[in-house]
Chains A and B, each alone.
Chain A
């Protein structure tokens, strides 16, 4: 199992049982300092100055160790989510449910802006700083330094909050900000080699070590206090056109990272040692060798080995079973599927559970057998303990890009419920005995065009769903869209990756905040946003014990809903929200934090 790593001569938190807290370790600095000071001799006469210097030197040696012992205790991730936001989903469950109640239904109408901060991509130090001085700019990377992503600065991931510091990313950029007013503490810029700069979902943290991935395939570890680089390591093949977007998920001494690739290469999750970056294990989402399970669902081994399944969105973790539960991406080639054979193409478009220590698969459930529209099932699964058919049950809930919702048993992967949350989805004709939608091949594509719902973006996408234990409802941002899919590659060998088709959008006929009853899969309520039809992407969600559900709408408002019925309780126009709102406590105040493109907004009560 897990053996406690050592850093700076101080034991990192050891592997306690899942539910026991880790609070005993919080006093580690006191345990260390006391004996060190007692060991000092009394100061007398001329020796005094020398001894003082020695003491001072000793103190200098000890101080970093003491600070190193703080940072994020990995065990704190097992506690209910409250003051901090220490991992992608807040906690491991993926519910994005905070136990904070300072902001609640009775006072949310008074929620007001605490601060904003605008980020600037690239190797330019500063950004708007006001009187707080220039933060340090740290530059790393293997690229020439003159490649800067042309797009706007967009925060499209989680912002961690640990010990009063916020950690936020865009592709090639990581910042540390003061959680009190948003001013920059440091900015790390990565000189890229290129690759797909589509988004970055944030950092992972272990003690004082930060981890993030780059579009040109590196895992980078920084010292969270200074932004100084500890090491970087190439974890995916740039030549094979891999890229990386996922927020690393830290579970005990495992740093988990999933791959991204649009060119027929296999998808996988890797586990790294947080201390050294050494590879611990690698799990492929497709069969890679003769005899591998699932191979019979592919035309041949070469097809399977080029079958995609990229797990590019962070998954969830169940400490009781030690399973990391994630969604796998679409099979590849995405559209011209004839080279994949007629089978289901396992384990693409599936909810998959793997053991965190070994990377071995425990179970899977495929939500889109033989997908033909690039509708991955990579959405973060939500782990819930809830009543089902009159008895308590361990469940996993997911709403897939293909427009269907699923409730599964998270111990076994047993299918329990399928629901359809996209009213317009027209690509499946039926459900089979396993509860999986049965694809209608007429809706794959046509040289004269097939009218398909949803469009490529799917009925939902990476923006995270949420769950409220009080309401007992699962929430997902969803859209009903149509596109014409034209087949452009008539060579029977098809095309590579996303090629071979031309997809022309037709319409967004509705954008929604959708609440689903996990017991039935039916829509409990849904709010249709009033728009002119030019809807932006509906961003991710946050629920709180204050009986609030926060998200951005599709017109630039940050909105608080009543999780029980969808009633709007508060809103503020900030510009289009591009991540999922989060919440944390700072100096006794609860903050609601969100990003709209390049700008962070923090709201609080005074």
Chain B
């Protein structure tokens, strides 16, 4: 079975290329953005020619190059071929069809019109270096083993009859559930796939030289300034230099973060298989 939905995904992807090889958004949120402009796909100017070319391609070419032209056991992927990419109307593809190539490409006796039709068909495939999100079921783990892992590692803070009661009914996509339990708020593009499970905020206690302690939710923090929202809704900011004034930071997700380096992937898959049963 050839993967046809790839092409739909590619179209979506061309419109919204968010990831990039050189400069993807950093984890935790996109920043800056490079301003992408997609490579123009070739417009289909003659659908009838594409249809005629498809018939010719299916009969003569797909055996080696695949029905989707992405290559087979005996023929290379044509969509990434320099010759095909640079070809406009069959002027480069034609000689190869007529003369063949060493390494197994036979000669064909196509007419110029047939060559043009075949070229039109090959050029009708969108060509992209990206594919869209997958739709494969990711629940492959062992729920029993996941339950055991949960009881050993997660139960100290969480309860399936308490804070996590009915968790799975809130997520239609197990991938969103998995990302959320690994680290609430993670997953970026999956934001719409389930209720945003926002983690409780980081808080801090600042102890001033006078001995006064100021406690609140951290709004902004770097090496030089820490800004808090206090319980009464007011804001206070402090310049810090080294350990003065003393700042004690509490990260409610510290437990999740420290577990990241301990998981085996099978643990993750098992826990997800268990959590999806918590309807």
Contacts and interface: CB of A to CB of B under 8 A. Distances in A.
Contact of B138 (A486, A529, A532, A597): A486
B223 A147 contact: no
Contacts of A506: 27, 179, 182-183, 186-187, 260
B37 A237 contact: no
Nearest to B72: A493
Given A499-B131, A533-B28, A490 B136 contact: yes
A242 to B, nearest CB: 10
A463 B137 CA distance: 38
Contact of B220 (A196, A264, A532): A532
Interface stretch (A72-80, A103-111, A441-449): A441-449
A215 B257 contact: no
A154 interface: yes
A457 B182 contact: no
B252 to A, nearest CB: 11
A150 B32 contact: no
A448 B222 contact: no
Interface in A442-483: 442-443, 446-451, 453, 455-457, 461-462, 479, 481-483
Interface in A190-248: 192-199, 215, 237-241, 245
Contacts, number: 268
Given A457-B26, A557-B222, A496 B129 contact: yes
Interface in B202-260: 202, 218, 220-224, 251, 253, 257, 260
A269 B3 CA distance: 35
Question: Chain A interface secondary structure, helix, strand, loop or mixed?
Answer: loop
Contacts of B261: 424, 426, 453
A455 B253 CA distance: 19
A537 B31 contact: yes
A496 B85 CA distance: 14
Interface string A525-541: 00001111111110000
Nearest to A336: B131
Nearest to A507: B183
A263 interface: yes
B20 A486 contact: no
A10 interface: no
B260 A530 contact: no
Given A449-B178, A493-B77, A505 B28 contact: yes
Contacts of B251: 533
A354 interface: no
Contacts of A502: 133-134
Nearest to B17: A196
Nearest to B186: A506
Question: Chain B interface secondary structure, helix, strand, loop or mixed?
Answer: loop
A306 to B, nearest CB: 6
Nearest to B240: A530
Interface in A543-591: 553, 555-557, 559, 568, 571, 573, 576, 578
B129 A493 contact: no
B140 A448 contact: yes
A294 to B, nearest CB: 19
Interface stretch (B54-62, B112-120, B163-171, B262-270): B262-270
Contact of A505 (B27, B85, B260): B27
B3 A491 contact: yes
Given A149-B37, A504-B186, A578-B32, A455 B27 contact: yes
Interface string B63-100: 00010001110001101101001100000000000000
Contacts of A486: 134, 136, 138, 175
Nearest to A530: B223
Interface in A143-158: 147, 149-152, 154, 156
A490 B251 CA distance: 39
Interface of B: 2-3, 6, 19-24, 26-29, 31-40, 66, 70-72, 76-77, 79-80, 82, 85-86, 127-136, 138-141, 175, 178-179, 182-183, 186-190, 202, 218, 220-224, 251, 253, 257, 260-261, 263, 265, 268-269, 272
Sort A-B residue pairs by CB-CB distance and give the 5 closest, nearest first. A151-B35, A497-B129, A488-B134, A149-B35, A499-B131
Given A483-B27, A502-B133, 12 more contacts: A149-B35, A152-B33, A262-B21, A264-B77, A312-B22, A447-B138, A449-B178, A486-B175, A488-B134, A489-B3, A496-B128, A502-B134
24 contacts: A147-B37, A150-B36, A196-B37, A197-B37, A240-B86, A241-B129, A329-B21, A448-B141, A448-B178, A455-B24, A457-B24, A489-B131, A493-B71, A496-B70, A499-B128, A505-B188, A506-B179, A507-B186, A530-B222, A530-B223, A533-B202, A534-B29, A553-B222, A555-B220
